[in-house]
Amino acid sequence: MHTSTALLTDHYELTMVDAALKAGTANRNSVFELFARRLSGARRYGVVAGTGRLLEAIADFRFGDAELEFLRANSVVGQDTIDWLANYRFTGDIWGYPEGEVFFPGSPLVTVEASFAEGVILETLALSIMNYDSAVATAASRMVYAASGKPLAEMGSRRTGERSAVAAARAAYVAGFSATSNLEAGRSYGIPTMGTAAHSFTLLHDSEREAFAAQVAAFGPDTTLLVDTYDTEQGVRTAVEVAGTGLGAVRIDSGDLPVVVVEVRELLDSLGATNTRITVTNDLDEHTVAALAASPVDSFGVGTSVVVGSGSPTMGMVYKLVAREDDNGEWVSVAKKSADKASVGGRKSVRRLLNARGAARAELIYLGDGPGGEAEGAEVADSSREILEPLVVGGEIQQQYVGSDGIELARKRHRSSVAELPRVAMSLTRGDPAIPTEYR
Amino acid sequence: MHTSTALLTDHYELTMVDAALKAGTANRNSVFELFARRLSGARRYGVVAGTGRLLEAIADFRFGDAELEFLRANSVVGQDTIDWLANYRFTGDIWGYPEGEVFFPGSPLVTVEASFAEGVILETLALSIMNYDSAVATAASRMVYAASGKPLAEMGSRRTGERSAVAAARAAYVAGFSATSNLEAGRSYGIPTMGTAAHSFTLLHDSEREAFAAQVAAFGPDTTLLVDTYDTEQGVRTAVEVAGTGLGAVRIDSGDLPVVVVEVRELLDSLGATNTRITVTNDLDEHTVAALAASPVDSFGVGTSVVVGSGSPTMGMVYKLVAREDDNGEWVSVAKKSADKASVGGRKSVRRLLNARGAARAELIYLGDGPGGEAEGAEVADSSREILEPLVVGGEIQQQYVGSDGIELARKRHRSSVAELPRVAMSLTRGDPAIPTEYR
C-alpha cells in the first residue's frame, strides 16, 4: 500500500500534462469544476461528502522516487514532465460546497483554480473520492430521515472494497448515522464504533444457551444477544433466562421484520424485560427502514444498501474545464458542445434562495467572476445565503475542513441544510430535484 | 493511510474473540466458508476475483502498536485479548477456488481452517475484497464476451472509491480486459496502462486544430485524437488534416454510437485514413458493447459500469462457520437454521462435472472431510476436475497466487474456465445459473 496518492490517477491526465508542457499551454490559468449533471436514482437532493478526504489526499499528492520511476520505466511521460512532476505541489485555490451541504444538478461542488497542468491531474482523484462518498451520504441521509429519529449504525464494510468501507463509514456518519462497525473508521476519523456477536459465536458453542452465557460472562447483561440463529422465539426466552431482565438488547437478523419485531417486543415485555432494546439488521434500506419506523424497533444496523448507495453506487459527477486564460491573459469560458453532454462554461458563484419561512426555494448559480468575485455585489436575492467556501487558498488547505473536526463540522452542516429543504425533498419516490437550479 | 490491514475489520469480530477467549472456546478448530447464496443480478455464472489480494492482505494482517493502542483506548477488547492480538499471525490452512475460476451458488470460494479466533477475525476483510473484486470481474467477463474479441480497456477509476479503483482495474484484467487507465494498478500489479487526451485538453487551446497539432507534435501521428468536443464530423476531418492518414486512432465519447461509428468509419476511409482505428467510450456496459460488436469499432473503453458491477455492485457473499471441533476433538457440522438464510454445514470438496465434449455440466459439492480429504477417494464422476487448491498451508501463503504472477495465472484460468461453460452461460439476460449445484 503506497501512501502517495499521486498515481490514483488516469494515465491520460499525465499525457495531457506532457503535451501541454511541450505546447507551452500548461501554465494557462484555468478553472475546473466538479459537478453532477443530474441526481443519480432520481433523488430529490444530493449530499456532498468526501471533501475533507479530498483535501487530505491532495496534501499527499506528491510524486516521490517510486512514482517517478514507474512513470519513467513505463514511458508514460517524457523527462521534462518527470522533472515537472517531481516538483508538483498544488499551489492554487479550491472553492467548494462545504462537506455535508445538500446539492442539485449543476451545483459546482468543487472549483479548482490553478494552472491547467496543476488542476488537470487532480481530476480522477477528486472524482473517485467525491463520487463514492457522496453516493453513500446521499443514500444515508434518506435512511436517517426514514428512521424518524431512531439511531442507525453503518455495518456494510463487507459489501464494498476494504478501503472504500472506511470512506463509507465516514460518509454515513456525515449524513447522520450514529456509529459504524468499521474499526479503521474509528481509528482514522474518530467515528464511534460498535458491535457485539455473530452467528458464528453461537454456532461455536454446544448450545445457544452456552453461547449466551459466555457472552454475558464476558460483557455483563447489558450486551446485545443475537437471537435468531435457530428459532427467534426460543432465542429470546433463552436470552432473558441467561441475562435476566436487565438484558441490554436483542438483535434480529432474519425473518419478516415488521411481524417479528412486534412479536419479540411482546415476548420481552411478557418476560419482564421491558427495557431490553431491539435492534434489527436484515438487508435494510431506506424503504424497509421507513416501513419499520412505527414498529417497536430501537435501532437499525444498515449494511449493503448504504455502502452501495442504495441502487446508485456512484453520483456520476464529472470534472470539467470551464474557463481558462488565453495568451493575452483574458479569461475565456469554455464548454463541450456535444448534444448529450453539454455543460455550462464560465466561473460561477452560488446562493441558495430561501422563502420567508427560511425554506430553500432555488439554487441560484451566478455566471460571472466566480466565488468571491463581483457576482455577489450584483443582483442578489433578499433572502439567500452564500454556498461556496474557500477550502484551499494559495495551496494552503484550510484545516477546519479536514480530520475529525471537519467531520463534525460536516455533520452539523448536513443537519441544518436538510432542515432547510422543502418537505418534498424527503419523498423516497423517484422524482425531480426538490428545488430548481437557476442560472443568473 | 495505515498499511496494516488488521483494523479493516468489524468491531464485533474482536468482541467475539474477546468473549471466546474468556469462555475457553477460542481455540476450537474451526472451518469457515466464504460463498454466495445466489448470483447477484441473476447472472449465469460468477467469476472469482480478489483471492491474490486477500492473501496479500492476510500477510499484512498484524496488530502493531498503533492498532493495539486504538483498541485499548477505546475499550474495544480487554487486556488479555490485546495480548493475544499482539501475537496474531494466521497459522491455519486456506483452500479455495483459484482466482479467475467461475463459480455458482453455494460454491465454497474460500475455506479457512484454523482456530475459531484465528479464522473469525478475517471475516470482514475477506468479504470486502472478494465481494467487490468478484462483482467487477463477473461484470467484466460478460463484457469481454460481448466484445467478440475486440479489446476493452477499464477506465472507471473516477466512478468508485480511489483504492477500489485499483482493485477494479486488477479484477477487470483478470476477467480479460486488456488494459486500464489507472496508473496505480500499473505500478502495483503490472497491468498495462493506457490513455491519451481529454476534452479539457481541446478546450485549453484556442481551437481544436491547435489542440490536435499540440498532441501530434508531442506524440507523433500514431496517437488517439478525441474528436467529439465540438462536432464529430468536423473533428474527424481536422484530425486527419493535422495528423495525416497515418493517424493512429480517433476516440468518440458521445452520441448514438452505432450510427456515429459507421459514419466516422466511412469518413475516415473517404479521407484515406483506412488504418486509423476507432475507439468508443460513452457509458458502455455489456449490452451496449454487444450492440456495437458488429460495428466498425476497434476497441472499447468501459468506465462506470464495470467498476460498479453493472447493476450488481457486490456479490452478496457471506462467511460462515460450517464446522468446528467439540471439547472431545470431534468435528461437528454447524449451520444457521433461519428460514430465509439457511446454509449447508460441514466441510466440503468440489469437482466440476464435464460431459464427453468437455463442457461443464454441474458443480458437485461433496460433504465430507473437506478438500484433500476422503471425498476424492469416494464416488467421483468419470469426467470431472477438482476445483479447490491449497492457497495457504500452515500459515504459508503459496506464492504462485499473489503479485503479478498470480494475476497472469488467474487470467489464464479464467479463459480456460469460461471456454468450458455451456453456451447458455453467455446469455446477457437474467436467468438461472448455467450449471446446477449438486450436493453429494
A contacts of B198 (beta carbons < 8 Å): 12-13, 16, 120, 123
CB-closest option in B9, B60, B128 to A161? B128
The stretch B82-89 carries a mean pLDDT of: 97
Pick from A126, A124, A132, A91: nearest CA to A15: A124
* CA distance from start to end of chain B: 46
Over residues B333-354, the pLDDT tens digits come to 998 776 566 678 888 999 999 9
Residues B16 and B123 both lie in one domain: yes
Q: Considering CB atoms only, which of B12, B184, B218 is closest to A8?
A: B184
Query: Residue A381: CB partners within 8 Å, gap ≥ 6?
Result: A351, A353, A364
Which of chain B's residues have a Cβ under 8 Å away from the Cβ of A128?
Answer: 157-162, 165
Contact (Cβ atoms closer than 8 angstroms) between residue A324 and residue A358: no
Q: Would the pLDDT of B282 be above 60?
A: yes
DSSP state of A98: P
CB contact under 8 A, B184 and A32: no
Helix (H, G, I), strand (E, B) or coil at B269: helix
Q: How far apart are CA B239 and CA B279, in angstroms?
A: 14
Taking the CA of residue B382 and the nearest CA in chain A, the distance in Å comes to 37
| Chain segment B294-326, per-residue pLDDT in tens | 899 999 999 999 999 999 999 999 999 999 999
CB burial of residue A60 (10 Å; 0-12, 13-18, 19+): middle
Instruction: State which residue of chain A sits closest to B218, comparing Cα positions.
Output: A19
CB of B181 within 8 A of CB of B187? Answer: no
CB count within 10 Å of CB A59 equals 15
CATH of the domain at B125: 3.20.140.10
Tell me which of B118, B183, B232, B319 to substitute to probe the interface with A (most A C-beta atoms closer than 10 Å): B183
Indicate whether A290 and A317 sit together in one domain. no
Q: Which of B129, B95, B113 is nearest to B387 (CA)?
A: B95
pLDDT of residue B92: 98
- Helices vs strands, H then E, count in chain B: 15, 19
Query: Which residues of chain A have a CB within 8 Å of the CB of B319?
Result: 158
Which of B14, B199, B314 is closest, CB to CB, to A308? B314
Picking from B263, B287, B309, the residue at the C-terminal end of a domain is B309
3-state secondary structure B338-349: CHHHCCCCCEEE
Among B15, B67, B131, beta carbon nearest to A197: B15
Examine the domain organization and report whether B115 and B233 are in the same domain: no
Q: Is there a contact between A214 and B255 if contact means CB atoms under 8 Å apart? A: no
Question: Hey, are the CB atoms on B8 and A181 less than 8 Å from each other?
Answer: no
pLDDT given for residue B403 in this prediction: 95
- Within a 10 A sphere around the Cβ of A266, how many other Cβ atoms? 11
Residue of B15, B133, B161 with shortest CB distance to A196: B15
A199: chain B residues, CB-CB within 8 Å: 320-321, 336
Kindly tell me if the per-residue pLDDT of B378 is higher than 50.
no
Place of cell 449524513: A175
Domain presence at residue A434: yes
Amino acid B62: pLDDT: 97
Check residue A26 and give its pLDDT.
96
Q: Do B305 and B421 sit in the same domain of this protein?
A: no
Average of per-residue pLDDT across B141-149: 97
Q: Which residues of B touch A162 (CB under 8 A)?
A: 5, 8, 57, 125, 128-129, 132, 163
Nearest to residue A296, comparing CAs of A313, A326, A312, A273? A273
Q: B384 and B258, same structural domain?
A: no
What is the DSSP track for B66-107?
A: HHHHHHHHTTSS-HHHHHHHHT----SEEEEPPTT-EE-TT-
Say whether both B320 and B302 belong to one domain: no
The residue whose grid cell reads 438461472 is B432
Query: Which residues of B are less than 8 Å from A308 in CB distance?
Result: 308, 313-314
Q: In A, which residues are within 8 Å of B336 by CB distance? A: 199, 203, 229-230
ipTM: 0.95
Q: A250 and A320: one domain?
A: no
Query: Quick check: A314 and B310 in contact, CB under 8 A?
Result: no
Find the CB nearest B165 among A128, A228, A309.
A128
- The total number of structural domains in chain B stands at 2
Question: What string of DSSP letters covers A163-217?
Answer: THHHHHHHHHHHTT--EESBHHHHHHH---B-----HHHHHHSSSHHHHHHHHHH
Q: Is residue B318 part of a domain?
A: yes
Residues A267 and A321 in one domain: no
pLDDT tens by residue, B218-246: 999 999 999 999 999 999 999 999 999 99
Residue at a domain's end among A232, A266, A297: A297
Q: What is the mean pLDDT of each run of 10 residues along chain A (440 residues)?
A: 89 96 96 96 97 98 97 96 97 98 97 98 98 98 97 98 98 98 97 92 96 96 95 97 97 93 98 98 94 95 97 95 92 78 83 93 88 52 88 98 97 97 94 95
pLDDT band for position B271 (cuts 50, 70, 90):
very high
Of the partner residues A123, A164, A229, the one whose CB lies closest to the CB of residue B161? A164
CB contact under 8 A, A338 and B254: yes
B250 domain residue, yes or no: yes
Name the residue facing B215 among A19, A124, A206 (closest C-beta): A19
Q: Which of A3, A61, A191, A200 to mutate to test the interface with B (most CBs of B within 10 A)?
A: A200
Determine whether the interchain pair A74/B193 forms a contact, defined as Cβ–Cβ distance below 8 Å: yes
Q: Do A70 and B201 touch (CB under 8 A)?
A: no
Q: Choose, out of B116, B158, B341, the residue to mutate when testing the contact with A (most A CBs < 10 Å).
A: B158
Tell me, yes or no, whether B2 lies in a domain. no
Residue B225 maps to a domain: yes
Shared-domain flag, residues A210 and A325? no
- By mean pLDDT, which of A378-387, B63-72, B113-122, B405-414 is the weakest? A378-387
In angstroms, the CA A413 to CA A159 distance is: 28
pLDDT per position as a tens digit, B33-70: 999 999 999 999 999 999 999 999 999 999 999 999 99
8-state DSSP, B182: B
Cβ contact, residue pair A11, B195, below 8 Å = yes
Q: A9: which chain B residues are within 8 Å (Cβ-Cβ)?
A: 157, 182-184
Write out chain A residues lying below 8 Å of B116, CB-based.
200, 204
Asked whether residue B377 carries a pLDDT value surpassing 50, the answer given is: no
* Structure-block grid coordinates of residue A127: 472524482
CATH number for the domain that contains residue A272? 3.20.20.70
Question: What are the backbone dihedrals phi and psi of residue B234, each rounded to the nearest 5 degrees, phi first?
Answer: -65, -35
Whether residues A317 and A400 share a domain: the answer is yes
Task: Give the pLDDT confidence of B164-181 residue by residue, as tens digits.
Answer: 999 999 999 999 999 999
Strand partners, A103: A46
CB–CB contact A13 B313 (8 Å):
no
Domain ends where: A269, A297, A325? A297
- Residue A2's pLDDT is what? 67
One domain, residues A17 and A133: yes
Structural domain includes residue A395: yes
Rounded-to-integer distance, Cα B141 and Cα B410, Å: 13
Tell whether A253 is covered by a domain.
Answer: yes
Is B423 inside a domain boundary?
yes
Residue B375 confidence (pLDDT) above 50: no
Position B279 scores a pLDDT of 97
Question: Which residue segment(s) compose the domain that B24 sits in?
Answer: 11-137+312-439
Nearest CA in chain A to B345: A203
Distance, in angstroms, between B66 CA and closest chain A CA? 9
pLDDT at A342: 64
Residues B168 and B40 in one domain: no
Mean pLDDT lowest among B257-261, B342-346, B395-399: B342-346
Q: Give the pLDDT score at A197.
A: 87
Q: Which of A11, A132, A165 sits opposite B194 (nearest CB)?
A: A11
